[in-house]
Amino acid sequence: MSKFWSPGVSELTPYTPGEQPRERLIKLNTNENPCPPAPGVEQVLRDYSIDHLRLYPDPDSRALREALAREHGVEVEQVFVGNGSDEVLALAFQAFFRQPLPISMPAISYSFYPVYCRLYGVEHRTVALGDEWQVPLEAFDAQSGGIIFANPNAPTGHGHGRDAIEALLKRVTECVVLVDEAYVDFGGESAVPLVERYPNLLVTGTFSKSRSLAGLRLGYAIGSRELIEGLERIKNSFNSYPVDSLASAVGVAALEDKAYFEACRQQVITTRERTRRRLGELGFEVLPSQTNFLLVHHPDHEAAQLFVGLRERSILVRHFNTEALRDFMRISIGTDDEMDSLIEAMEAIIR
Ligand code: PMP
């Protein structure tokens, strides 16, 4: 609390990401990717001329936006880039969601959405998840100031197909529908092909998960030219350089190696399904997941205690201290060896 803060700042409860350990831990708490970044990334870093850092970056981030446009089959004017999708989301809240009507979001979703609402003075309503923990797209009110949800959703892992998103877009035409696809590459279906037909659809993505570049802070949005221009207007009023030149060069290299990308995401999916089976054998209820994490619950053991037991064994997972998720833990998918250690530790704790 400080007398120098603007009104409202003291009420903000910033999102605290999972612990960043200093000791050697098995880190399964912030949905990072166990695969190293693509080999081309290392090459870029090795060859990078220090002189680039003396100069300002390209204010259009043209090379990175072109690479993303090629990857997603859209025009470069339909691509916006920023420092992690968190920043892109923050800009989208400012550009599209400060409306007279409240925006709508799922009751359980990425915890940053309500934080941005508070930060930017955006009212919001929530819709309860369905019986299968799915985001109930049909429950979103067409008369909203905007709609935002993650698909697949976090931390529940369920994703809707493109047809379901399109049905929503046929019904909701008067506000921006923001689909956060941070986890889509682990088994979801992207809504990007719909941006051509629905000018109110904005899809956000990140290099943090399936591209193994969480440390770089690179995210993007794809949408109609109209929406991308809205984001650019907000961004340019803060900082005229969307991303730094090193991040841009690394991002391009990460997008180039398609075979490596495929192999990594397949590996994560295979390890996820193996882990899901093994946790099931230990009596856990494990929600189906189209992401690089599992949301799990044990009927006979409190999640908070399991969390502590794992922590004592140097394994970090995520336990959310919220009413709806108190009985659950979210476990990110690591390497096969890390997941073997997790299973062994769980066996020892619940025995
Ligand atoms: N959306 C969702 C649903 C997430 O879980 C995360 C990661 N915490 C993000 C966006 C932000 O990712 P980043 O800023 O690393 O791109």
Is the Cβ atom of 140 under 6 angstroms away from ligand 1? no
Is the Cβ atom of 154 under 6 angstroms away from ligand 1? yes
Helix (H, G, I), strand (E, B) or coil at 55: coil
Mutate to test the pocket of ligand 1, among 93, 206, 213 (most ligand atoms within 8 A of CB): 206
281 alpha carbon – ligand 1 mean position (Å): 31
Residues facing 157 on adjacent strands: none
DSSP codes of every residue in 197-216: T-TTEEEEEESSSTTS-TTT
Is the Cβ atom of 210 under 6 angstroms away from ligand 1? no
Q: Can you tell me the ipTM of this complex?
A: 0.99
Task: Pick the closest to residue 52 from 62, 44, 60 (CA basis).
Answer: 44
Which stretches of 2-129 are DSSP H helices? 39-47, 62-72, 84-96, 112-119
Is the Cβ atom of 180 under 6 angstroms away from ligand 1? yes
Q: Which pLDDT does position 23 carry in this prediction? A: 66
User: Are 146 and 175 within 8 A, CB to CB?
Assistant: yes
Q: Which pLDDT does position 10 carry in this prediction? A: 80
Identify the residue whose tokens are 């200093």.
Answer: 22
DSSP codes of every residue in 182-197: TTGGGT----GGGTTT
Q: Hey, do 20-36+259-350 and 39-256 end up sharing a CATH topology, with the first three levels equal?
A: no
Q: Which pLDDT does position 22 carry in this prediction? A: 60
Q: Which pLDDT does position 351 carry in this prediction? A: 86
47 alpha carbon – ligand 1 mean position (Å): 29
Question: For residue 349, with 0-12 CB atoms within 10 Å meaning exposed, 13-18 middle and 19 or more buried, which class applies?
Answer: middle
CB atoms within 10 A of CB 240: 11
Task: Pick the closest to residue 97 from 110, 81, 112, 113 (CA basis).
Answer: 113
Is the Cβ atom of 208 under 6 angstroms away from ligand 1? yes
Mutate to test the pocket of ligand 1, among 68, 110, 211 (most ligand atoms within 8 A of CB): 110
180 alpha carbon – ligand 1 mean position (Å): 8
Is the Cβ atom of 151 under 6 angstroms away from ligand 1? no
Helix (H, G, I), strand (E, B) or coil at 331: strand
- Closest atom, ligand 1, to C-alpha of 218: 16
CB within 8 Å of 148: residues ≥ 6 apart:
97, 103, 104, 105, 109, 113, 177, 178, 180
DSSP code, position 38: P
- Measured CA to CA, the distance from residue 183 to residue 64 in angstroms comes to 20
Phi, psi for 179 (deg, rounded to 5): -105, 115
Mutate to test the pocket of ligand 1, among 185, 208, 243 (most ligand atoms within 8 A of CB): 208
- Measured CA to CA, the distance from residue 224 to residue 77 in angstroms comes to 8
Q: Which pLDDT does position 321 carry in this prediction? A: 86
- Closest atom, ligand 1, to C-alpha of 153: 3
Topology given in CATH for the domain delimited by 39-256: Aspartate Aminotransferase; domain 2 (3.40.640)
Q: Which pLDDT does position 18 carry in this prediction? A: 66
Q: Which pLDDT does position 53 carry in this prediction? A: 93
- Measured CA to CA, the distance from residue 139 to residue 107 in angstroms comes to 12
In this prediction, the residues of the chain whose per-residue pLDDT falls under 50 are none
184 alpha carbon – ligand 1 mean position (Å): 12
Closest residue CA from atom 7 of ligand 1: 182
Q: Which pLDDT does position 83 carry in this prediction? A: 96
Which stretches of the chain are DSSP H helices? 39-47, 62-72, 84-96, 112-119, 162-171, 225-236, 245-256, 258-281, 303-312, 336-350
Crossing angle of helices 84-96/225-236, nearest 10°?
100
- Measured CA to CA, the distance from residue 61 to residue 57 in angstroms comes to 8
Question: For residue 200, with 0-12 CB atoms within 10 Å meaning exposed, 13-18 middle and 19 or more buried, which class applies?
Answer: buried
Total residue count of the chain as it appears in this document: 351
Q: Write down the architecture of domain 20-36+259-350 according to CATH.
A: Alpha-Beta Complex (3.90)
Helix (H, G, I), strand (E, B) or coil at 326: coil
Q: First vs last Cα of the chain: how many Å apart?
A: 46
Sorted by where each begins, the domain ranges of the chain are 20-36+259-350, 39-256
